[in-house]
Amino acid sequence: MEYRPLGRSGLKVSAICLGTMTWGQQNTEAEAHAQMDRALEHGVNFFDTAELYPIPPKAETQGRTELHIGSWFKARGTRDKVVLATKVVGRTDMTWFRDDGSEGRLDRRQIEEALDKSLKRLGTDYIDLYQLHWPDRPVSGFGSNPVVWKSPEPVADETPIAETLSVLADAVKAGKIRHVGLSNESPWGVMKAVAAAEALGLPRVQSVQNAYSLVNRTFEGGLAEVALREDVGLLAYSSLAQGYLTGKYRNGARPAGARKTLFDRLQRYEGPGAEEAIGGYVDLAAEFGLDPAQMALAFVLRQPFTTSVIIGATSLDQLETDIAAAGVTLPPELLARIDNLHRLRANPCP
């Protein structure tokens, strides 16, 4: 397993990060423990979770994923072997995260409550990387990097990024978190956070967790340069386009137990041009004798701005396939073909 610097934190994290959002909904506690055991055996030292998880978000399951990780730490005594990342929700009308039923905001009261609850569920005294799951400000669309701009309506109660970072600074001083990261952010948001940290002596963001895949390369438009010049590396999620890039949903297929079959979500990967683009990449992998999932993950892993690729699996077989992508090298001819396909069908799934 390759280990890469997490920003300027001094930490080294595995190029593969274990995602956890299915635990507590599609996966049982025992299955979650088995996945963590197997990942650790393969040298994966980086786990990512969130107070929101599991997905889809529901009041009755919220926080269950962190509980499963906490019970694994307690059973195995493995806390010191893992770089642990979790997240606090951003602006949302979901009201079940806070004890008083407030809608989610990134203000002091809510962040402090969220952090203390995550620490308790995880059974740990500290979080290695505490991330803002999405911004407090209204944005053009979830993920903050649209291909079609829609101007969001401003709000009076927006919490400034510097104010949010000041809350996290206090958590760092208290020893509750070590480092800070962003998620679903835009180039403006990342640079605003970097500038505030430098000007005010606040914690520097070490990473940005955004969607990045063969069918969503919007990160390259502005964030790639930011990531490289500011050492705010990408933690890539949905690099398999929620499973679409494996080919399992082709021609309208709905496999038993798959996320689309269970929850009828994932419309992000069903917009105009998506089916044709996804089919093109799956066919390209077959032409070069590659597993389509491994080709998709290897493409993201090779990018110079990528710190780690977050994988999500519901079975140990899927987990093995995804982790093995770290050893796959894509030949120059294939990379050229991928770029050509991208030019024809760019970013259908932002």
In order of their start, the domains of the chain are: 3-344 (3.20.20.100)
- Tell me, what's the pLDDT at 291? 98
- 152-190 tens-digit pLDDT: 999 999 999 999 999 999 999 999 999 999 999 999 999
Cross-strand pairs, 86 = 130
- Tell me, what's the pLDDT at 226? 98
Percentage of residues in the chain with pLDDT exceeding 70? 100
- Tell me, what's the pLDDT at 39? 98
* Closest C-alpha to 164, from 119, 122, 114: 114
Sign of the CA dihedral with 248 first, then 254, 258, and 259 last: positive
- Which residue bears the tokens 């977050």? 310
CA 312 to chain centre: 10
Q: What is the mean pLDDT of the chain?
A: 96
What does the pLDDT average to over 287-309? 98
Is 80 exceeded by the pLDDT of residue 265? no
SS3 label, residue 163: helix
What does the pLDDT average to over 3-30? 98
Active site residue 53: yes
What does the pLDDT average to over 330-334? 98
How far, CA to CA in Å, does 24 sit from each of 20, 32, 57, 143? Answer: 9, 8, 11, 24
Token couple for 185: 């952010």
The answer to whether the CB of 327 falls within 8 A of the CB of 193 is: no
pLDDT level of residue 261 (50, 70, 90 thresholds): confident
Is 90 exceeded by the pLDDT of residue 317? yes
Percentage of residues in the chain with pLDDT exceeding 90? 93
Nearest-angstrom CA–CA distance, 267 and 283: 22
Nearest-angstrom CA–CA distance, 78 and 83: 11
Is 90 exceeded by the pLDDT of residue 251? no
* Closest C-alpha to 234, from 150, 131, 161, 316: 131
- Tell me, what's the pLDDT at 252? 82
Helix H or strand E encompassing 72: helix 64-76
- Tell me, what's the pLDDT at 316? 98
- 35-58 tens-digit pLDDT: 999 999 999 999 999 999 999 999
- Tell me, what's the pLDDT at 109? 98
**Global pTM exceeds 0.85:** yes
Active-site residue, selected from the candidate residues 53, 130, 244, 269: 53
Is 90 exceeded by the pLDDT of residue 267? no
- Which residue bears the tokens 């105009």? 272
- Name which residue leads in pLDDT, 267 or 274: 274
- Which residue bears the tokens 């970013």? 347
- 186-245 tens-digit pLDDT: 999 999 999 999 999 999 999 999 999 999 999 999 999 999 999 999 999 999 999 999
Average the pLDDT over each of 21-35, 238-252, 332-346 and give the range with the smallest value: 238-252
Is 80 exceeded by the pLDDT of residue 266? no
